[in-house]
Amino acid sequence: MTGPCSPTPWIGPFDLFRVGIGPSSSHTVGPMIAAAAFAGELGPDTERVSVELFGSLALTGRGHSTDIAVMLGLTGACPDTLDPDEAAAIAADIRTRHRLTLPGGRCITFDPGTDIIFRSRETLPLHPNGLRFSSIGKTGSVIRTYYSVGGGFVVDEAGRPLSAEGGGPAPVPYPFADAADLLDVAHRSGLTIAAVTRANEAAAYPARDITAGIARLWAAMRACAARGLVAEGELPGGLRVRRRAPALLRRLQARAGINDPDPLGAMDWVNLWALAVNEENAAGGRVVTAPTNGAAGIVPAVLHYYDRFVPGASGEGIETFFLAASAIGALIKRNASLSGAEMGCQGEVGSACAMAAAGLAAALGGTNAQVENAAEIGLEHNLGLTCDPVGGLVQVPCIERNAIASVKAINAARLALHGDGTHRVSLDQAIATMRQTGLDMSHKYKETSLGGLAVNVVAC
């Protein structure tokens, strides 16, 4: 059990759920954050800048818009404030003019074709998602190495987070290192898992700010789904994948709307919300990392299910959902990884499924043991899931996979709530298994597009 002075870092809901931009938290959001951090260090005499992308970032970076992300970041853009509609125009201007304006206003020569280098056969030591930035100026050069470790989290070459989020010692009243710790501290304090998270978060934020912050996240998720429900046409990237959400919405509305008598009608709506979010993500739209962009449709789809289909659903229940889900996400990040480049898709979709299952079980009044059980079921039945995006794009199988995992998360919560919380495999054991499976998994199946569907489906 961790003590009151434990160095275990606190990772809260506003670390795991962050407003960003598609299509990838590790390949788009993280690199943009890293580039902006590097640009902030550059002096007024900077003359040239170059970027090297390593490992997974190099192999699937073009399909994940990593090159665009670093260009935008070098201008000072941040994923939570950048207008997605402006991003393409800014990047196109840089490509056409071979000029880039740094945050201080200095305009330098920058040719993405030569100044962004894809080192697909090299991997840096700390993580598969490595970036190295270099600058040359009249007074010297600056070289920085960063790693985008999943979920939009970025660390430097010493493993230190770029910001205080999720990075420092945890001055919280209820620290926990694993699920056993979490259940123990909740039992001894008489609190639910969601209440433990809220109490820890209250060490940094007033209660009203926690409520308002969660409300903003939920509003951003709803806005993302709403855009995905009406946007038509093909997704960018060359696979010619058509958006399916608008047509599915029309069919469901024609059938009977939300009051569809079909006993499986709710499942169709869950599929719809997941597709809408992930199609919007694949198009580079505004999305909430939950806990990654590649898996960003699962939590919103299950939250929509709770909000629209559960009698008595409330704002308090939505808060409970977010708080419980973030506790599970923190455990997975701390003891395994959220990164597809490190764990395969079990680290992204599997983590999101576990978080959504736990959040729903908590919102439905489940005990702490049932919430932990729901998370374990959600994670256990995604173990071994590979990350093999066709064409390096966050489209096939990513979009459909979110719909399947959303339904799976609801089923996991229901299974857990039908029991008393007693189960043979613990969440800690499932997380440890996921980590070991990720370590054993061939790099071909970890966001490199070198194996699986990525080589068996022709990308034209």
- What's the mean per-residue pLDDT of the chain? 94
Nearest to 31 by CA among 107, 91, 114: 91
pLDDT at residue 166 above 90?
no
397 cis-preceded (ω within 30 degrees of 0): yes
How far apart (Å, rounded) are the C-alpha atoms in residues 324 and 456? 39
Range of weakest confidence among 137-141, 358-362, 368-372: 137-141
Summarize pLDDT for 24-78 with one digit per residue, the tens: 999 999 999 999 999 999 999 999 999 999 999 999 999 999 999 999 999 999 9
How far apart (Å, rounded) are the C-alpha atoms in residues 195 and 200? 9
Q: What is the pLDDT of residue 259?
A: 85
Q: Would you state the structure tokens that stand for residue 301, as one six-digit string?
A: 């789809």
* CB contact at 8 A, 372 and 412: no
Any residues with CB less than 8 A from the CB of 456 and at least 6 apart, and which?
none
Q: What is the pLDDT of residue 138?
A: 87
Alpha helices in 202-314 (DSSP H): 207-230, 245-255, 265-282, 298-309
For residue 449, CA distances in Å to 63, 131, 232, 344, 454 come to 10, 19, 27, 11, 5
pLDDT at residue 256 above 90?
no
Q: What is the mean pLDDT of residues 168-192?
A: 91
How far apart (Å, rounded) are the C-alpha atoms in residues 286 and 224? 6
Q: What does residue 333 show for φ and ψ, rounded to 5 degrees?
A: -65, -40
Q: Would you state the structure tokens that stand for residue 341, as one six-digit string?
A: 């480049």
Q: What is the pLDDT of residue 257?
A: 81
How far apart (Å, rounded) are the C-alpha atoms in residues 441 and 98? 40
Sort 139 into a burial class: Cβ within 10 Å, 0-12 / 13-18 / 19+: exposed
Secondary structure class of 305 (helix, strand, coil): helix
What share of the chain has pLDDT > 70, as a percent? 96
Range of weakest confidence among 169-173, 360-364, 383-387: 169-173
Sign of the CA dihedral 375, 378, 384, 386?
Answer: negative
The pTM for the full model equals: 0.94
How many C-beta atoms surround the C-beta of residue 131 within 10 A?
28
How far apart (Å, rounded) are the C-alpha atoms in residues 382 and 387? 12
Summarize pLDDT for 319-340 with one digit per residue, the tens: 999 999 999 999 999 999 999 9
* CB contact at 8 A, 271 and 407: yes
| pLDDT tier for residue 453 given thresholds of 50, 70 and 90 | very high
How far apart (Å, rounded) are the C-alpha atoms in residues 73 and 103? 9
Q: Would you state the structure tokens that stand for residue 387, as one six-digit string?
A: 């990350």
